[in-house]
Chain A
Amino acid sequence: MAFGKYNGWKGFTYRGGGPMLVFLLHRITAVGIILFVGLHIMASFSIQQGVWGDFGVFINTIYESFWFQIFVVFCVLFHTLNGLRITILDFWPRLLKYQREAIWLEWAIFVPIYALTIFIMIQRGLAG
C-alpha cells in the first residue's frame, strides 16, 4: 500500500487545500474587521455626542479586553498579508503558477509576526 493511500482519518481531513482555506479566512477576517471598525466608530460617535445611552461604553469594554484584541490582530494581519498576495498575483498573472508557494510564504511571514504580537499582548494583558 502506497504511503498515505489509506488512513483512518481520511473522512475527517480537510481536502479543500491551502487556497480554499485562505479564501475562507479572507472572507471571515473581512467580516471580523468590518464588525470591529464599524462598531468602534459607532461607539466613538455614541460617547463623543452623548447619544444612544450605554452603547458606547458597552462596546468599549469589549474591545479593550486583550482577548478581543488578539482576534482583531489576527483579522487585520491575515487580511493584509493575504490581500497583498492577491494583489501581487493579480497584477502579475504569470506569478499565479506559484500560488501555492505564495500561500506558504504568506504563512511563513504571518506566523512569526502574529506569535510575537500575541506574546507581547498576553504578557501585558496578564501584567494588568
Chain B
Amino acid sequence: MASRTVPQRGFTLDYLMFLFTRISGLSIILLAVIGLVTAFIMGARTQMDLGTLMRWTFFPNPNHVINSDIPDLTAGWANAYWNVMQMLVVFFAFTHAANGLRMILEDYINRGVGQILLRGFFFLLWAFMLILAYNVIVMM
C-alpha cells in the first residue's frame, strides 16, 4: 500500500477551504436567522403558514413559492433585498457543497490526473449551479 504524504502547512487550498467551510456554515445559519426575523418584520406571521415560512427562509423567491403549490404572496415580497439574501445563501451553500463533495472524494482519489480532473469537474459544477441559481433568482 502506498504511503500517504503529509500535506504542507500554511496558506494552502485545503487550509483556506477548511476555514471557508466553517465560516460559510456559520454564515448560512446567521442568514437563516436574519431571513426569519426580517420575514416576521415584513408581516410573515399573518401572510404565511409555517411550511411556507421555512421555505422562504432558505429560498426567498416568490416564483419558486408559486411553483410549489404554496399560497400566493403579495408583490411586496419580490424585491432586491430578498434577491441579495438568496444569492448569498446560494453562494455560501454551493461553495460549501462543492468543496465538501471534493473533500469526500479526495479521500479516495488523492493524487495525479484523477485529482486534477476531480477538481476541474467540481469547479465546473460549482460555476454551473451558481449561474443556474442566478437565473432562477434574478430573471423573474
Taking Cβ atoms with an 8 Å cutoff, the residues of A that contact B are 27, 30-31, 33-34, 37-38, 40-45, 47-49, 56, 60, 63-64, 80, 83-84, 86-87, 90-91, 120, 124
Contact = CB atoms under 8 A, between A and B. Distances in A.
B22 interface: yes
Nearest to B90: A41
Interface of B: 22, 25-26, 29, 50-51, 59, 61, 63-64, 67-69, 90, 93, 97, 100-101, 104, 129, 132-133, 135-136, 139
A44 B61 contact: yes
A84 B67 contact: no
A49 B136 CA distance: 8
A48 B29 contact: no
Contacts, number: 60
Contact of B100 (A30, A40, A60, A84): A30
Given A33-B97, A34-B97, A120-B50, A44 B67 contact: yes
Contacts of B104: 27, 30-31
A43 B63 CA distance: 12
A85 to B, nearest CB: 11
Contacts of A48: 63-64, 67, 135-136, 139
B50 A84 contact: no
Contacts of B59: 40
Contacts of A90: 22
Given A30-B104, A33-B97, A120-B50, A45 B22 contact: no
Given A27-B104, A34-B101, A84-B25, A41 B136 contact: yes
Of the candidates B63, B67, B139, the one having the most CB atoms from chain A within 10 angstroms of its own CB is: B67
B100 to A, nearest CB: 5
B132 A45 contact: yes
Given A30-B100, A34-B101, A91-B22, A47 B29 contact: no
A120 B67 CA distance: 23
A11 B135 CA distance: 53
A87 B129 contact: no
Contacts of A43: 67
Given A31-B101, A40-B59, A90-B22, 14 more contacts: A27-B104, A34-B101, A37-B93, A37-B97, A44-B63, A44-B136, A45-B132, A45-B135, A48-B63, A48-B135, A49-B139, A84-B25, A87-B25, A91-B22
